[in-house]
Amino acid sequence: MSDITRKIKKIAVQKKEASARYRKAKENLANSVTDIKRTGGVFDIQLLQKTVTDMFNFLTQNDSAFTYLTKDISSYEDYLYNRSVNTCAIGTAILNQYNQRLAEIVNNYLANLLSGTSGKESDSLPDSFINYLPEEILDMSTGFMLHDIGNVLIPAELLKKKGKLTNTEFAIVKTHSYEKGIEILEKNGINNPFILNPVRYHHCALFVGEPNCYPEEKLPTDLPAYVKICKLADIYDAMTSKRAYHEALNPIGVVKDIFLNYANKDSSLQFILHSFLKIVGTYPAGSILSLQNGQMCYVLISDGPVVLPLTDSHGAALTAKPEPIDLADERLVETTLRIDPQKPLKSPIEVYDSLPANLKEHILN
Ligand SMILES: [Fe+2]
């Protein structure tokens, strides 16, 4: 078996494992929603926390695990569950990155400071600073999973409405966060701020003057970092998910738009934005991208990315065995072997007919 085939098989195994976990998470969330509807608010929080713990463990073992989230939505209910699981997975990945990076910076600073006063080598000092503790991150992840739970108590016809909401309708929909969501958590005796805050504040402004944000009385400076991360993960997922009335957008274009919207607006946001970029600003291994010359390529390694061409520039499957291309190679800058940012990423199933025969089995399994 060639190295490339081995790599493709490994990606396929990771995808399978990720989709099994996400399916389970969606199932448990669906059960919670059914319970809330039946009882008027009560659900099994322990079961949901177990689900979040499973996802959390998986995400911390595998850096790119969150990129294998399901983006295809079959029904409105499916959309609600997917969005919650996706926001939880993406938000947790960003939160981990943010937390580790912040601890590294502070510990390096402390090590330099202390080695200056004690004369010891900086690497002999233990890492003493931890920003968020693992159990706190787990609670925040639960908050991410539940961020939109208040929607269960909002009339479905308003949430499904395709046209613009009237002012009265929008006023009702807004209550899903700071009123209905909190009502459900309180009914279940949940008063942990790491769970409550993402639910209550995930539509708050990230900078002074950001439009269409609520509740308005919460200032961006008073918003904890994990709530800001929840909001960014939620926006990113909403824009990259497919819905009946809008196509999924290219994730990298979405990252750029979000970054441009929030960069240089609030100094406390810059560090969070860098963590956001680091996590979602790459092309996920296992996805299909388009080059400017019209060729479609399979992403083998997201760093670069390193891709395997699948078609010629007219979209026909290649008959000769292709060689991988590292798109970060500077020699390619003047060529058309560059990513077309206008074309959305695809999954191998969507381009099945264009896959070369020798790769069909491995890429899809
Ligand atoms: Fe929301």
Per-residue pLDDT, 245:
56
Q: In a structure prediction context, what are the per-residue pLDDT tens digits for the chain, which is 365 residues long?
A: 578 888 888 888 888 888 888 889 999 999 999 999 999 899 999 999 999 999 888 887 776 677 776 665 566 677 788 889 999 999 999 999 999 999 998 888 888 887 776 655 555 556 778 889 999 999 999 999 999 999 999 999 998 888 889 999 999 999 999 999 999 999 999 999 999 999 999 999 999 999 999 999 999 999 999 999 999 999 998 888 766 556 666 777 788 889 999 998 888 899 999 999 888 877 878 888 999 999 999 998 888 899 999 999 998 888 888 889 999 898 887 888 888 877 878 877 788 888 887 777 777 65
Q: How far is CA 156 from CA 55, 173, 314, in A?
A: 28, 10, 44
Alpha-carbon torsion angle 72, 76, 79, 80, nearest 10? -170
Structural tokens at position 40: 């008027």
What is the structure's pLDDT at 308?
A: 92
How far away, in angstroms, is 45 Cα from ligand 1 center? 19
Q: How far is the CA of 231 from the centre of ligand 1 (A)?
A: 9
The answer to whether 178 and 215 have CB atoms below 8 angstroms apart is yes
Write the CA distances from 351 to 19, 196, 347, integer angstroms. Answer: 19, 42, 7
- CA 200 to ligand 1 centroid distance, Å: 9
CA of 235 to the centre of ligand 1 (A): 10
CA of 153 to the centre of ligand 1 (A): 12
Instruction: Give the distance (Å) from ligand 1 centre to CA of residue 147.
Output: 7
Distance CA 281, CA 124 (A): 34
Tell me how far the alpha carbon of residue 295 lies from the centroid of ligand 1, in angstroms. 38
Return the CATH architecture of domain 3-280.
Orthogonal Bundle (1.10)
DSSP string spanning 268-297?
HHHHHHHHHHHHHSSPPTT-EEEBTTS-EE
Cis preceding linkage at 284, omega within 30: no
Cα separation, 290 vs 253, whole angstroms: 13
Tell me the CA–centroid distance for residue 286 and ligand 1, in Å. 30
Q: How far does residue 202's CA lie from ligand 1's centre (Å)?
A: 6
Q: Domain ranges for the chain, please list them.
A: 3-280, 288-364
Contact (CB, 8 A) for 308 and 298? yes
Q: And the tokens for 274? A: 């860098």
pLDDT of residue 286: 84
The pLDDT value recorded for residue 287 is: 83
- For residues 188 and 308, give the distance between their C-alpha atoms in angstroms, rounded to a whole number: 50
Distance 84 CA to ligand 1 centre (A): 10
Cα angle 259, 265, 269 (rounded to 5 degrees) comes to 70
Amino acid identity of residue 11, one-letter, is: I
